[in-house]
C-alpha cells in the first residue's frame, strides 16, 4: 500500500513538473526573441558517454544492423520492445542534435516518433539507451565471442544468450568463458557428454544472429569487420 501511495505521488509530481515546463516554454521563447539572440532553453546534462562500440559506428551502419535485428527477433514486434539498442542510439544522437538546434521536448518527440518523456530523460541524463544494456568494449575478446558465436554457437529465441553445444575441446570452452569474464559479461561452461557454454549478453547475441542470417550486414560495417579480422 505504501509503495502504491509513493508511486502515485511521484507520478503526480512528475506530471506537475512537465505541465509547468510546458507553460514556461512560450515565456522562454519570448525572452529569447527580446534579447535578440537564440537561446537553447533545454538543459542538456548527459553525463554518460557513448560506449566505444557505438562511437565507431555511424548512423547508417547502426540502422542497417537494427533493421536486420528487428526483422529477425520476434520480441521487437511487440510494442514494448519495438526498437533495438542500435536504433535507439541513432534516435538518441538525433535527439541531441535537435536539442542543440533549439527544439523542445514535444517538437523532438513529434519529429522522431518518441514519447514526450523520452527526450526529457535523455537530455537530462536521467536515462540513456546505453545505460539499460551491458555494452561490451569492442576489443579482441569482443571479436572472439562474435566470431566464435557466428561459427559454432546458436542464439536462443529471445536473442539474449549465445549457446555452444557439443564442444569437444575444453580449451575452446575455457577461452570463450575467459573472454566473457574479461568483458564483464556472464559466461559459464559445464560438461554433459560434451562441453556446453552459455554467454549472456543482448548486444553480442543480436550481432551473432545478424552474422548467421545476414553476414553481409556485418561485413558492410567497417568497425565490426575489423574486430573480426583481429581474431584471425
Q: Show pLDDT as tens, one digit a residue, over the chain (232 residues).
A: 444 443 444 445 445 555 555 555 555 455 444 444 443 434 444 445 788 888 878 898 899 999 998 888 877 766 555 688 899 999 999 999 999 999 998 899 999 988 888 898 888 877 788 777 788 988 899 999 999 999 999 998 878 899 998 898 999 999 999 999 999 999 999 998 899 999 999 999 999 999 998 887 877 666 666 655 565 5
| Sequence-ordered list of residues with C-beta below 8 angstroms from that of 4, at least 6 positions apart, any chain | none
Residue with cell 565507431: 56
Per-residue model confidence (pLDDT) at position 229: 58
Per-residue model confidence (pLDDT) at position 96: 92
Report the distance separating Cα 205 and Cα 85, nearest Å: 12
Beta-bridge mates of residue 96: none
CB contact at 8 A, 158 and 201: no
What is the CA angle 216-220-224, rounded to 5? 100
What is the CA angle 65-67-73, rounded to 5? 95
Per-residue model confidence (pLDDT) at position 227: 58
Per-residue model confidence (pLDDT) at position 71: 87
Joined grid coordinates for residue 227: 574486430
- Which of 91, 87, 78, 67 lies closest to 220, judged by CA? 67
Q: What is the pTM of this model?
A: 0.72
How many C-beta neighbours within 10 Å does residue 17 have? 11
Per-residue model confidence (pLDDT) at position 30: 55
Strand ordering across the sheet containing 161-167:
154-155, 161-167, 195-200, 186-191
Amino acid at each position: 500500500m505504501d509503495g502504491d501511495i509513493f508511486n502515485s505521488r511521484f507520478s503526480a509530481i512528475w506530471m506537475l513538473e512537465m505541465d509547468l515546463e510546458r507553460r514556461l516554454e512560450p515565456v522562454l521563447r519570448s525572452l529569447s526573441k527580446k534579447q535578440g539572440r537564440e537561446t537553447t532553453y533545454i538543459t542538456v546534462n548527459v553525463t554518460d558517454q557513448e560506449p566505444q562500440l557505438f562511437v565507431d559506428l555511424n548512423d547508417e551502419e547502426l540502422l542497417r544492423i537494427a533493421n536486420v535485428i528487428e526483422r529477425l527477433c520476434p520480441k521487437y514486434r511487440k510494442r514494448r520492445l519495438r526498437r533495438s539498442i542500435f536504433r535507439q542510439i541513432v534516435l538518441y544522437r538525433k535527439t541531441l542534435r535537435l536539442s542543440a538546434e533549439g527544439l523542445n521536448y514535444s517538437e523532438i518527440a513529434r519529429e522522431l516518433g518518441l514519447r514526450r518523456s523520452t527526450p526529457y530523460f535523455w537530455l537530462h541524463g536521467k536515462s540513456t539507451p546505453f545505460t539499460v544494456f551491458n555494452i561490451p568494449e569492442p576489443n579482441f575478446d569482443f571479436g572472439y565471442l562474435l566470431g566464435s558465436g557466428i561459427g559454432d554457437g546458436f542464439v536462443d529465441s529471445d536473442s539474449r544468450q549465445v549457446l555452444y553445444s557439443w564442444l569437444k575441446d575444453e580449451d575452446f570452452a575455457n577461452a570463450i568463458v575467459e573472454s566473457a569474464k574479461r568483458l564483464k559479461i556472464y559466461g559459464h561452461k559445464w560438461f554433459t557428454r560434451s562441453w556446453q557454454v552459455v554467454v549472456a549478453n543482448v548486444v553480442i547475441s543480436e550481432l551473432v544472429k545478424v552474422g548467421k542470417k545476414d553476414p553481409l550486414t556485418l561485413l558492410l560495417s567497417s568497425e565490426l569487420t575489423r574486430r573480426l579480422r583481429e581474431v584471425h
